Amino acid sequence: MPSYTPPLRDMQFVMHELLHVVDDLKAMPAHADMDAETMNAVLEEGGKFASEILFPLNITGDAEGCHLDQATHQVTTPKGFKEAYAQYVAGGWPALSSDPAYGGQGLPLIVNNFFYEMLNSANQAWTMYPGLTHGAYASLATHGTDAQKATYLGKMVSGEWTGTMCLTEPHCGTDLGLMRTRAEAQPDGTYRITGNKIFISAGEHDMSENIVHLVLARLSDAPPGIKGVSLFIVPKFLVNEDGSLGARNGIYCGGLEHKMGIKGSATCQMVLDGAVGTLVGAPNKGMNGMFVMMNAARLGVGNQSLALTEVAYQNALAYAKDRIQMRSLSGTKAKDKAADPIIVHPDVRKMLLTAKAYAEGGRAMQGFCTMLLQQEHSHPDEPVRKEAGEMLALLTPIVKAFITDNGWIATSTCLQVFGGHGYIKEWGMEQYVRDARINMIYEGTNTIQSLDLLGRKILGNNGATLRKFGKLVMELAQEEAANEKMAEFIKPVADLGQQMTQFTMDIAMKGMQNPDEVGAAAVDYLRVAGHWTLGYFWARTAQVALRQIAAGNSDPFYLGKLQTARFYFAKLFPETTSLMQTARQGSAVLMDTDAALV
């Protein structure tokens, strides 16, 4: 059986030693009194909930899955899921970072982010149910009317009601301009919505008393394409004027998707049959509200893969220390045993360190992005809010695609550590691989993220935001220019930063002649940008570790950080060289292939 220990020490390192989040929070009135002790205490309790309540339900929930009663359209979640959700609500966990005006606790977003990392490590399928509610809450808080906020947000913050996002239809995925779901205006100001949605996570379940669906649909007079999409609140149960639940609405689950992973999460085919909805925001401007959910979800999906990387690493490390097989090539290490533990073998260590580097580096990146989101929403100065939002927009597709790609790599290598036992269900590793694979697909495939990064976030503003991130890299390089011990960590990132300008220009110039050049280079480009970003955080991590060691701190935690950083720059970061080469090869080898693709 697998195990899970919340990585509280590393979370504390990211918050307090690497990012100094308490200092940043002091500039935000809502969080000016926040202290490290409070944040640590909340996460310690959150870790207990994740490891003690959720983790034991992970393998059993995967085996049992969800069940749909075709007659009633009711979905039953795996045994223990509903009870765990009741404990989650009773503990006040849904309200952690929500606005106190709606019953929230108002804690910093980074606390909620790390709490959700632990939930996802413990049980990603279960965490899908409350996780989507945060995005729906954010969308309504930003674009909803006062009446809509008063009706829905308090119940969503308390966890009594959950939320979903209903976008995809059977004939269209990311290309939402093709959707057919229609909304007909009614005399009372509501709308009757009819259509079909697929792949709706947590679209129907037995864990909360109501489900608040945010649905994209077309008005009868809507213009074609994405400019004709509107957003609606469509609750499972209609809500009476006094806030009580009324009649069952005309939205129901017509079928469950049978998936290779996250089987405990109900992925629903949703049927809207004249369902009553209310408009969110302006007509034909639905993507404004939906993008609030989608961007939050993209950061959340990156967090899911980070979480799976962490738990897979923990179990692979424990197995490698215990499993004996063969002798070390450099001589016997465990003389009292018939063979050495497999952790003595170089390639096993490479697999373990790959997962560790991607988990701990990804955690730093996630923490940084969460603080950007906090600044964008909570900082009193508009220029700071604008700068934070711009940088976050650049990094969001990197977090989603790079971290999920790494999660797939890491869970696969951790499974490999187990050898033949890796694909035996009882060890838990094959589930992590299956669960990780979907994260590269939903909330916009990683190719979509790559096109968004290169086409919109970089070429769309002539690399202005990219240069701002480059300034952070150069400031670190200049700060440590005279420190020889930092050279092995700083030089690779600084050198790549200098190459990024020409690399970007090369792709841009080709793209001006042939747009397919951007599409051909985008995936490789994003991975280069991902390593540049991750390399920056690993260099900063090494900086903190070296300073602690120089000050006489003998905690092996810091030496471990240095060793992992050294491995990352020696074995993983050099991938950027080959990626830049393949990105520059152009589109012809892909597009001039009609004879090959027959």
What's the per-residue H, E or C state across 302-351? HHHHHHHHHHHHHHHHHHHHHCECCCCCCCCCCCCCCCCEHHHCHHHHHH
Give CATH for domain 298-583. 1.20.140.10
DSSP assignment, residue 190?
A: -
CB atoms closer than 10 angstroms to residue 144: 22
Is the pLDDT at 42 greater than 90? The verdict is: yes
As a whole number of angstroms, the distance between CA 573 and CA 567 comes to: 9
As a whole number of angstroms, the distance between CA 324 and CA 334 comes to: 9
CB 390 within 8 A of CB 293: no
Work out the percent of the chain whose per-residue pLDDT is above 70.
100
Is the pLDDT at 478 greater than 80? The verdict is: yes
Beta-sheet pairing, 237-239 with 182-185: unpaired
Active site residues: 443
List every span in the chain annotated with CATH 1.20.140.10: 298-583
DSSP assignment, residue 223?
A: P
Per-residue pLDDT band at 578 (split at 50, 70, 90)? very high
Work out the average pLDDT over 508-521: 96
List every span in the chain annotated with CATH 1.10.540.10: 8-143
pLDDT at 107 (0 to 100): 97
pTM of the predicted model as reported, rounded to 2 decimal places: 0.98
Is the pLDDT at 1 greater than 90? The verdict is: no
Give 346-381 pLDDT, tens digit per residue. 999 999 999 999 999 999 999 999 999 999 999 999
499 Cα distance to chain centroid: 28
pLDDT at 368 (0 to 100): 98
CB 331 within 8 A of CB 345: no
CATH number 1.10.540.10 is the correct assignment for the domain at 8-143: yes
Per-residue pLDDT band at 164 (split at 50, 70, 90)? very high
Structure tokens that stand for 530 in this block: 């991902």
Is the pLDDT at 294 greater than 90? The verdict is: no
Give CATH for domain 162-291. 2.40.110.20
Which H or E element spans position 431? helix 429-438
List every span in the chain annotated with CATH 2.40.110.20: 162-291
CB 115 within 8 A of CB 93: yes
What's the mean per-residue pLDDT of the chain? 97
